[in-house]
Every structure is written in structure tokens, then in C-alpha cells.
Amino acid sequence: MTYIVEGESGPWEVVIGLEVHAQITSNAKLFSGAATAFGAEPNAQVSFIDAGFPGMLPVINHECVAQAVRTGLGLNAKVNLWSRFDRKNYFYADLPQGYQISQYAHPIIGEGAIDIELADGSTKTIGITRLHLEQDAGKSQHDQHPTKSFIDLNRSGVALMEVVSEPDMRSPEEAGAYLTKLRQIMRYLGTCDGNMDEGSMRADVNVSVRKAGEGFRTRCEVKNVNSIRFVMQAVETEARRQVEVWESGGTVEQETRLFDTSRGITRSMRSKEDAHDYRYFPDPDLPPLVIDAAWVEGLKAALPELPDARRARYVRDYGITPYDAHVLTLERETAAYYETVAKGRDAKQAANWVMGDLFAAINRTKSSIAEPPVSAADLGALLDLMADGTLSGKLAKEVFEVMVETGRAPGAIVEERGLKQVTDTGAIEAVIDQVLAANADKVAEYRSGKDKLFGFFVGQTMKAMQGKGNPALVNDVLKQKLS
Amino acid sequence: MHPTDFTLAGALAALNEGAISAEELTRAHVAAVEALNPKLNAFITTTSEKALDAARASDARRKRGEAGPLEGIPLAIKDLFCTEGVRTTAGSKILGNFIPPYESTVTAQLKRDGAVFLGKANLDEFAMGSSNLTSAYGGVLNPWQRKDDPSARLVPGGSSGGSAAAVAARMALGATGTDTGGSIRQPAAFCGITGIKPTYGRCSRFGIVAFASSLDQAGPFARTVEDCAILLRSMAGHDPKDSTSANQPVPDFAAACGRSVKGMRIGVPREYRLDGMPAEIEKLWRQGLDWLRDAGAEIVDISLPHTKYALPTYYIVAPAEASSNLARYDGVRFGLRVAEKDSDLRDLYERTRAEGFGAEVRRRIMIGTYVLSAGYYDAYYLKAQKIRALIASDFDAAWAKVDAIVTPATPSAAFAEGENADDPVKMYLNDVFTVTANLAGLPGLALPTGLDHQGLPLGLQVIGRAFDEETVFAVGAALERAADFKAMPAMRAGA
Amino acid sequence: MSLDTATVRRVAALARLRLEEQDVARVQGELNGILGWIEQLQAVNTDGVEPMAGGTPGGVAAMPMREDVVTDGGQAEAVLANAPDREGEYFGVPKVVE
């Protein structure tokens, strides 16, 4: 469905492109040997290189290059065997060198494309313009002192990938789906942890509006949006603002804007007088980045299965619906969990349990698929107990709840609590005989044609058996006795 | 013989034989520094106590049979090399209180090999200059004097003016320098000593305050070619901390000094014959070529057609890189901060940098910022990079015909303070013969081969192929033997 | 290309160099002197020439790489020791408002 902003002059189309800054998963920084872990004491993970001390020189981290290449391959993009680092010159308190080392003219990754999934079940291809490597800046804290900002350089020099999309998105939903997919791919690849809360992924959102059939109008860049929800909100609000500007006879100026999350609006970020002039030039401290085609092939061969392929395989091999396959492959951990449960079992039943009871339990216990309340092996064992008739569906749900509470294996719980289903026909007959004897009037009614009472006898029998009677056997014996 | 009159090789031999101890040798040089530095201002910071401690430790090592190749040799260190725990100013007010918590690779290697550091030598601010007059710590007096005007204050050249003056005045047996456009070779020539800028990538730049990263290269000063060769061997070598450091074996440069030049082809680039070049420079050059011919070399006329564009090219590339390299001096993490009570961050930056940097540094930052700015990049910076490529390919073509190139080192002898001061471009022309080797990344050695009519030293330059310093040393040593340069500056230790 | 005073001011601002009003004309003169001298480069034909960023023949042609191992950091004291304004474990600057 087409997303439209209704203006006074009629409908407007929205054009969106995203520049996503993703922190590369690595032990050490892009150009220094300092650590990258989140949450360290201020300035504890800083080398003199990261702090821009005199005479300090950058040496690139091989793994960061590999991570960029893996990501490029995951985005179906061209890998450039020759690339280069430029300096982007500007002054800022948390930019110690006075420049950011980035790949401006010659990025390591060129054009690519990914498919995004939309709510109506359709997919859309979004073009990737490029991916390049660059350094992150430090962090300024503005709330620690009445007249000062405090600078922490722990982030300074951490490796980032900037992934630039084509202006191919046309709605907040598409922007959200793109970011979701990009995050999913990088998490599958292990190249970015995608923790938006910790700043591992931030997006600059380029938004413009236009009338149907027009070329592009001037765009604005909404900087540093740090959640998928905010990206969608920023698109919506910025598009509406631009429509208002155009319709009131004004002109949208190309500028950088900030998304004010508390008020849900965007506002101009920097005044025009200090127009950006980054004075890019090749970093003379760094020779060109030259990588080997065979090495790239090796990385390609070692890539894990990506979400699209995995989803298709689930539909094909497990026979589950495309929607279920989509949900189960959103996170690599979920997919791995599901595959453990489904292996050698009823794959559809496994899908239902994972998406139903397990997800509910995760929500309820505020845990995660990475640290699930019930292990995949235990859930599999529970399914086995149903398959061999030990547990009814109802009992299985009860056992599952105990598993969530205690973290114990289903077999042990069944043993201990005597929850084992009764499949002994004689025992069932004995109970049924008692039930029928105690309800002779109802038996008479049933026999005189009141069929609906059958459920009553099942209920009474199960109640007498504390729910442990095998439902199929109970049914059979009852039918027999009542006929 | 006074201990300060040793050559470096001679001192090593004397130390080896036990004729002198490192402590005695250092004490003599410390005394020379104390006596002469108040006049020459060759050192910004002296570290006499540390030097004597280091010398005693050196004697102990020698006693244990653990003597390194430079064991006990007192040196001056250009104050552009970061030295752990010892103030490093880069000749600038902006780093006036900076104490590096790390050691440059070059100085670490010199220490590893047993050298003793006397202190931090004066220099033009951030190595930008050819006179040492841009230093925030005052100019350096050239120890040589004009015959007919001994009171004229002559400059030692720059930017490594303090290093050159210290070695010439026998305050140190050798010194480190850096050379971005001629900053080792021009002061060596002005002070009548020897200095070599090795091939780009030969010495690590790690821990050296950067001026122009694609041109900067460290090298030694000493009073003989062989002494330079000995020092370079310790300074050179691959460093994984510098991405531009070459992974090339370090040969025994001193051994190359004894090589014959017989059969070598020596290039004479016609473009280095400048209009209005003083006759005595012309004569010095011809004399040098005659000596080499006499030693069996073949003299070959060559052309380096883009030579005349080298200096203006340099004055785009170097300021551009400098404008970016010097952005880190912002008053936040180290060095000077200048702010008013109500200064915002931007005002703090602008005041700190305007007051912290001297006029020449500010000028070059402005030029560099301008040539990189939007709309001018292609016309200036990209154009300069292309001409740089042409200059490098001129040399490539020459190497098909010759093994080394010999030119004058400077267009004149040392000038006096105040001369050349009216016009920055006039000052820049000092580097006209040296700057090409930086742009092409080639090794260049300057050595004294004669005196001008005022009794001031004049030098020749030997340029070689990339990573062929051995040939450069061989040619330099041949010139040195023939010139038999014995003149000494008026101001020197033991004089 | 010669610089007007507005450009001189703009360049000084880009470089974060405070420029007093009375110095603008002098600085303009110096810069124009240097740029005028540099202008001779425009006469050189550089068609088809690949720009040279640095280095030397036989030097480092491709960037060397480092292993992904933590070898540095854990030295906040040393990092902060030279700071003109140290605020606990942070560098202090005048408050930045965005």
C-alpha cells in the first residue's frame, strides 16, 4: 500500500534514504589496540592514538576489515579490493585528532541490495550505495556540571561501518523494515551486535517529499536517530513538516536536523553560517587498503546462512508457513533454538511451541532467547513426551510451566509429580465405571438421546484421574460403555 | 685530545679501548652544553643529570660485556621527538608544558643501542622554517662567524637548527633531526656538518610530532659521513606502529662508506643551475664533480624537468597536511589552553590556537586550510599531487642513467637574522635543492666541502635511489675524503 | 586566485585561529603573496597523471594490518595527566550546547 502524506494541495510521496552507523564487533579499536567493550570507566579504554596525542599513528585492525567485507557480502555488494582512507577535518570536543579517519572517495564496499519484508507479506528491494569504514568519536556528557561538558574518549576510535542506502524507501514502515533487516543481517553475520540502546547502531535519516511523477526535491538529514521506532517517527514528522513548508509557499533548505524524541519533532541542528567544509584529503599516515581476492573468497565461503536463505529453507524443509519462518528467523538465536527443537520432531508443532509458549514465557520472565527460561533441548524432550503418549497436550502445558519455574528437565518433573498419563485401559475402565455409577441419572438422559452429555462424562473421568487419563483412551472406553 | 673533539666512531673506539669512560665523555659534553648553550640556545631543555645517570649505566653495561653499538655516545635530540617523561615542545608555545608518557621509536632505538641524551634541541616551531627563528624558545646562533663581520648573528638553518649547531659546536657527538623539505640538509650545510635524510619509510615516524606526514623523515647529524652512517643504522628499521614504515632490511651503512665510487655514474641535473646562483656555489659544485671523476666516477648530465615546480608543490602539500596534523592542538587534552571566563568551546579553540601557534605556523595552517577547502581542492591539492608524481617520475627516469645525483645543498651560505625575513617566499627558497628528495621520497645527504668568501661552510648534496642509502654514503664519503674539510666554527667546545 | 578579506576570515574560522580585525589585511597580503607564487603550477600539464599521495618506489604499497588483540588502554591516569582541565576521570571543556 502506498504511503501518502495528505496536504492541502493533494497527496505527497515521501522519499527516504538511510545512512546507518553500525559499530563493528571487534576486540580492539579500528586503528589502536584499546578495547571496545561497553560500559568501562571513563577514559579507561583509551590509547594515546585514540586521544590524538602528538606523534601517534594509526595501524588498522585486520578483523575490522574482515567484518566490513563480511557485511558487504551479506548485503550482496561489490567488494573493492583497493580502497583508501581520507581525513574528514572538523573541530569538536570529542574528536581528539581534529579529523575523523573515514573512507570518503574510495569505500571498501560498493553497490549492493537487500530485500525487506513488509506487513502485507510483500517484499521490496532496497539498493545499497556503499559501505565504508570509519572511526567513532568520543562522548560528551553535558549533565555533570553546570558550566562544563565532560569528555570520555572510550568510544573514540571504535570501528564503525557506515552503510548508505539508495533513496529507495517510500514510507516509515519501509524505513523501519530496512533498518530491521540490516540489523538482522549484521547480527547473523556477527559483524555488529545491533544493540541500539548502547549506541551500536545509529541512523541518519534523509527525507524529502514530492508530488507524484516529480524528480527529487531538497532533502533534510535527521541525525543520529537511535531506535527503529524513532526512525519511523522521524520520517513521519519530518515529511509532514516539509509538506507544510512547501504548501505554505516556502522552500525546504538542505540542512541537518535533530529528532527531539520527547516532543516528537525535528529541529534545525547547526546554523548555516558555519557551513561544513570538511576538507577531505587522503590520510598520509595510511597507505591504500589493498585486500586479496582469494581472502575475500575465503570469507565468503565461511559466511553463516543468512536470514533470507534460512527462511526459504524453513518453508521448504519444515513445511511451516512463510510468516512463521519469518518470525523464527528474525534473530539468529531464535532460529538456532527452533532448529534444535524441530530436529527429528514435528516441525510445525515445534514452531507453535516456540512462537507460543516459549515466547510468552520469555516475555513473562523478562528473559531473552539468548538466555531462555527453558532450554531448546528440554523443550524438545517435552515434545518427545507428547509424541510417545506420556503427556497429553494439557499436561505438557502444565509441565512446561513447571520447567519455566524450576528450570528442570521435563522427564524429572513428570516422574516426581506423577504427571504421567494413564494409558492402562483397565485403570481407565475402573474409573469410568465409578463415574457412570455415580451419575446414573445422566447416563439415562444420555441414552435417551442427550448426546451433549458425553463431554460431561469425559470431564468427570479426567477430574477423577487428576487429568492424567489418556484423552483418546478415555473417549474410546466411554463410547464403549455408554453404547 | 679534548673529548668533545672525538668523532663518533673515534669515541666508540676510545670507549672500547677503555681510554675514556662514558661518564667522562658525557661530562665533557655536559660541560660544553652548559658553557655554550647560554650563547647558542641550541637546546630548549637540557637533561644533564639524566645524561650522567645514563652514562654511568652505560659504563656498567660495557663492563658486563653488554655494550650496544652506540654505547655511551652523547647525543642531542631534536625537540620534535617525544621522549618519555621529558618535556617535548616541538618549538611551540602550545606544547610548552607537554610531557609525553611515551617514547618515539627512533629515540627508543637509540637508547636501546646505548646512546646518552643530553637534552632536547631547538628547532623551528613544528619544524616549519629554514632559520630556526620561528622557535617559540628563541633563535639558535650559528657557531660559525663571518670573517669580516664576526658580530653578525648568523642562523644555523632550520628546522633542525639546534641539532646542527650543537653538533657543529661540539656540544654533542651527533644529533637527531627531521627533514620535511630540507630540515636536516640545509642546517647541516649552514653549520658545516653532515646530515642525511633517509628514504621515506626508513625511520619510523612513531612518536615524532608530525608536520607533513607524507614528507617527514627522521635522520642523523654528525661531523663525518661515517658517523651519520653509524647513527642511521640504529635509528632505522621497520616499525609495526607506523603504517608507512618500510619493511626493508637495515644494512651496515658504515661499511658502505668505504666503497669505491669507481665506475659509478653521477648525475648532474641541469635544472639545478639556477639563474643568479653565486659563483662560489657553482665552483663548489664543479669541484665536487671533479673529485668524483678523479676517483673514477663517470659524470653524466641529466634532466629533472619538473624541478622548478617542486617548491610551490611542496608549499601546497606540506601546509595541507600540516593544517590537519595540527588540528589536535586544541587545548583540551594536553598543552596550552587560552580562554576567557565566558569562552565557549569555539572561542577556547580560537584563542588557544591563535596564541599557542607562532606567525609562520598560523600562516601555513591558513594556506593548508585554504588549499583543501571546498572548490579549491582540485586546483591546488590534487594538482600538487600530480606534479609530485611528475617530479618522482623525473627521478625514476634519471635512475636509468645514473647511480646517484650530486647538487649543491643550499643556494647560499648561512644568512644573518633579519635577512630573508621580509618575504616568506624568499625564505622558502632555501629549500630549493633539497625539497625534491622529500617529494620523491628519496635519500639525500648533505656534507661540507668548502668555505665561501666569508669563511662560512658550503655543502653539497648527494641524492640516491629509494632505499639505496649505501650508494649515497659511498659517494658522500668519497667527497669527504677529497674535500678534507678541516675548518671549525669559531664557537665550539674546547676552543 | 587571490583571497578577499571575507575568505581570509572564513579560512581562519575553519582553522579555528582567532584573527584580530587589524591583522586581516596583513595576513591577506602574506597569503596572496604565497598563493601568487604557487599559481605557476597551473602552467604544468598534468593530463592523465595519477596523483601521488606519498611514499616512495619500493616503499609501503599497501597498508599493513594489526591483529584484533587488546594491547593498549587501561591508562586513564597517563591519558589525563597533561589535561589543562581535568574533571575527575574526564577532560573538561566549556559546556557544549547542541
- pLDDT, one tens digit per residue, over B28-62 is 999 999 999 999 999 999 999 999 999 999 999 99
Chain A contact set for C61 (CB, 8 A): 287-288, 290
Closest approach of B441 to chain A, Cα-based (Å):
13
Closest CA to B243 of A56, C71, A360, A190: A56
Q: Which of B458, B444, B478, B4 is nearest to B232 (CA)?
A: B444
Q: Is A151 on the interface with C (CB under 8 A)?
A: yes
Average pLDDT over all residues of chain B: 97
Taking the C-alpha atoms of residue B77 and residue A405, their distance in angstroms, rounded to an integer, is 71
Which amino acid is present at A119? A
| Alpha-carbon A83 to chain mean position | 30
Q: Tell if the CB–CB gap between C61 and A288 is shorter than 8 Å.
A: yes
Nearest CA to A201 out of A15, A25, A16 is that of A25
Longest dimension (CA), chain B: 72
Exposure on the CB side of residue B321, measured as CA atoms within 13 A:
25
Rg (CA), chain A: 30
- Cα–Cα distance, C6 to B280 (Å, whole number): 47
CA distances from C63 to A10, B108, B202, B238, B246 (A): 55, 24, 16, 13, 11
Residue B122 φ/ψ, nearest 5 degrees: -65, 160
Residues of B in contact with A277 (CB under 8 A): 373-374
Asked if residue B201 belongs to a domain, the reply is: yes
Instruction: Give how far B369 is from chain C: nearest CA, Å.
Output: 6
Query: Domain holding B83: CATH number?
Result: 3.90.1300.10
Which residues are A282's β-sheet partners? A86
Residues A266 and A336 in one domain: no
For the segment A51-91, what is each residue's pLDDT rounded down to a tens digit? 999 999 999 999 999 999 999 999 999 999 999 999 999 99
- Grid cell, residue A34, equals 584499546
Run of H or E including A444: helix A440-447
Q: Of B334, B357, B383, which has the smallest distance from its Cβ to C46's Cβ? A: B383
CB contact under 8 A, C81 and B306: no
Sequence-separated (6 or more) residues with CB below 8 Å from residue A332 = A187, A188, A304
For B467, residues 6+ apart whose C-beta sits below 8 A from its C-beta are B199, B202, B246, B248, B443, C56, C58, C59
Query: Which residues of chain B neighbour C53 with C-beta distances below 8 Å?
Result: 214, 385
Residue A314 CA from chain centroid, whole number: 18
Q: With a cut of 60, say whether residue B486 has pLDDT above it.
A: yes
- The range of the structural domain enclosing residue B148 comes to 9-495
Written as one letter, the residue type at B104 is S
C82–B97 C-beta distance less than 8 A: yes
Which grid cell is B375?
572548490
* Interchain contact C74–B (C-beta under 8 A): no
User: Residue A130 pLDDT more than 90?
Assistant: yes
Residue B173: the pLDDT is: 98
Question: A 87-146 residues with CB below 8 A of C?
Answer: 91, 93, 140-142, 144-146
Contacts of B320 in chain A (CB under 8 A): 281
Q: Comparing C-alpha atoms, which of B163, B75, B405 is closest to residue B271?
A: B405
**pLDDT (0 to 100) of residue A273:** 42
**Is the preceding peptide bond at B159 cis, omega within 30 degrees of 0?**
yes
Strands (E), B399-480: 404-408, 444-451, 457-464
On whether any CB of chain B is under 8 Å from the CB of C35, the answer is: yes
Confidence label for B123 from pLDDT (cuts 50, 70 and 90): very high
Nearest CA in chain C to A63: C68
Return the higher-pLDDT residue of A394 and A384. Answer: A384
Run of H or E residues at A222:
strand A220-225
When CB atoms are compared, the residue of B312, B349, B385 closest to C52 is B385
- Mean pLDDT computed over B82-92: 98
Shortest distance between the Cα of B108 and any Cα of chain A, in A, equals 14
**Contacting residues for A16 by C-beta, under 8 A, at least 6 apart:** A167, A169, A170, A171, A174, A175, A205, A206, A207, A235
- For residue C6, the chain A residues in CB contact (below 8 A) are none
Residues of A in contact with B372 (CB under 8 A): 89, 279-281
- Chain B residues with beta carbon closer than 8 angstroms to that of C13: 350
ipTM higher than threshold 0.85: yes
What are the cell numbers at A167?
A: 533513496
The answer for A269, left when phi > 0, alpha when psi is -120 to 50, beta otherwise, is alpha
- Non-local (6+) Cβ contacts of A12 within 8 A are A4, A5, A6, A209, A210, A211, A239, A243, A246
Whether A279 sits inside 8 A of B328 (CB atoms) is no
| Residue B170 C-alpha from the chain's centroid | 17
Name the closest residue on chain C to residue A84, using Cα atoms.
Answer: C63
Domain boundaries, position A265: 5-298
Distance CA B12, CA B71 (A): 7
Give residues with Cβ within 8 angstroms of A483, minimum separation 6: none
Distance of alpha carbon B446 from the chain centroid: 10
**Dihedral angle at the C-alpha atoms of A357, A359, A361, A364, nearest 10 degrees?**
-140
Contact at CB, B324 and A60, closer than 8 angstroms: no
Cβ–Cβ < 8 Å for B23, B52 = yes
Consecutive H or E run containing A297: helix A293-301
Which residues of B are annotated as catalytic? 78, 159, 183
Of B259, B268, B235, B206, the residue nearest B477 (C-alpha)? B259
The pTM assigned to this predicted structure is 0.92
State whether A368 and A440 are in the same domain.
no
Interface of C with A in 5-64 (CB under 8 A): 13-14, 16, 53-55, 60-64
The whole-angstrom separation of Cα B399 and Cα B412 is 27
Q: Which residues on B lie below 8 Å from C93 (Cβ)?
A: 332, 345, 348
**C-alpha grid cell for residue A64?**
575490522
| pLDDT of A299 over the 70 cut | yes
Chain A nearest-CA distance from B106, in A, is 12
Q: A254 and A138 share a domain?
A: yes
pLDDT score of A270: 64
Q: Tell me the domain boundaries of chain C.
A: 5-42
The answer to whether residues A358 and A466 belong to one domain is no
Give the neighbours of chain B: at least 3 Cβ pairs within 8 Å.
A, C
Q: What is the pLDDT of residues A468-479, one digit of tens each?
A: 888 888 888 888
Residue-level pLDDT at C1: 58
Strands B265-269 and B404-408, by their bridges, are: parallel
Grid cell of A170 as nine digits: 517510500
Which of B242, B328, B334 is the closest to A98 by Cβ? B328
Q: Is the pLDDT of residue B436 over 60?
A: yes
Contact C3/B390, CB-based, under 8 Å? no
Is A175's pLDDT higher than 80? yes
> What's the rounded Cα separation, in Å, for the pair B78 and B123?
7
Contacts of A179 (CB under 8 A, 6+ apart): A18, A20, A201, A203, A228, A231
Task: Taking residues A208-229, report their average pLDDT.
Answer: 94
Q: How far apart are the first and last CA of chain B?
A: 12
Using 50, 70 and 90 to split pLDDT, how confident is the model at A164? very high
Q: Is residue B4 part of a domain?
A: no
- Burial classification of residue A419, based on how many CB atoms lie within 10 Å of its CB (0-12 exposed, 13-18 middle, 19 or more buried): buried
User: Are A167 and A278 contained in the same domain?
Assistant: yes
Residue A393's identity, in one-letter code, is: G
Q: CB count, 10 Å around CB of B116?
A: 30
Q: Compute the CA torsion angle C33, C37, C39, C45 (nearest 10 deg).
A: -170
Residues in chain C within 8 Å Cβ distance of A43: 76, 79-80, 89-91
Residue B1 lies in a domain: no
Under an 8 A CB cutoff, do B324 and A281 touch?
A: yes
Work out the mean pLDDT of chain C and round it to a whole number. 93
Looking at CA atoms only, how far is residue A286 from chain B in angstroms?
A: 6
pLDDT per position as a tens digit, A314-344: 999 999 999 999 999 999 999 999 999 999 9
Question: Would the CB atoms of B389 and C50 count as touching at under 8 Å?
Answer: yes
At position A372, the amino acid (one-letter code) is P
What is the per-residue DSSP string for B59-120?
HHHHHTT---TTTT-EEEEETTB-BTTB---TT-GGGTT---SS--HHHHHHHHTT-EEEEE
Nearest beta carbon to residue B312 from set C40, C55, C96: C40
Query: Which of A202-216, A249-263, A414-428, B326-340 is predicted least confidently?
Result: A414-428
How far is it, in rounded angstroms, from Cα B211 to Cα B215?
A: 8
Dihedral pair phi/psi, residue B271, rounded to 5°: -70, -10
d(CA B132, CA B157) in angstroms, rounded, equals 6
* Average predicted confidence (pLDDT) for chain A: 93
Range A11-21 average pLDDT: 97
- When mean pLDDT is compared across A242-246, A261-265, B40-44, B163-167, the lowest value belongs to A261-265
Average pLDDT over residues A93-115: 97
Cα four-point dihedral sign B302, B304, B305, B311 = negative
- Which residues lie below 8 Å from residue A173, measured CB to CB, with a gap of 6+? A3, A118, A119, A232
CB A328 within 8 A of CB A335: yes
Q: What is the nearest CA distance from A164 to chain C, expressed in angstroms? A: 25
- Total domain count, chain A: 3
| B45–A contact, CB cutoff 8 A | no
Q: Are A42 and A51 in contact, with CB atoms under 8 Å apart?
A: no
Interface test with B, best of A280, A285, A286, A289 (most B CBs within 10 A): A285
Q: Give the nearest partner residue to B373 out of A99, A279, A285, using CB atoms.
A: A279
pLDDT of residue A272: 42
CB B9 within 8 A of CB B224: yes
Tell me, yes or no, if A271 comes closer than 8 A to chain C by beta carbon.
Answer: no
In which band, very low, low, confident or very high, does the pLDDT at C60 lie, cut at 50, 70 and 90? Answer: confident
Same domain for A124 and A148, yes or no, is yes
- CA dist A281 and B318 (Å) reads 13
Residue bearing cell 619500493: C58
Do residue A444 and residue A406 come from a single domain?
Answer: no
Which pLDDT belongs to residue A463? 86
Interface test with B, best of C52, C79, C86, C97 (most B CBs within 10 A): C52
Half-sphere exposure of C13 (CA within 13 A, CB side): 12
C-beta of residue B16 within 8 angstroms of C-beta of residue B63: no
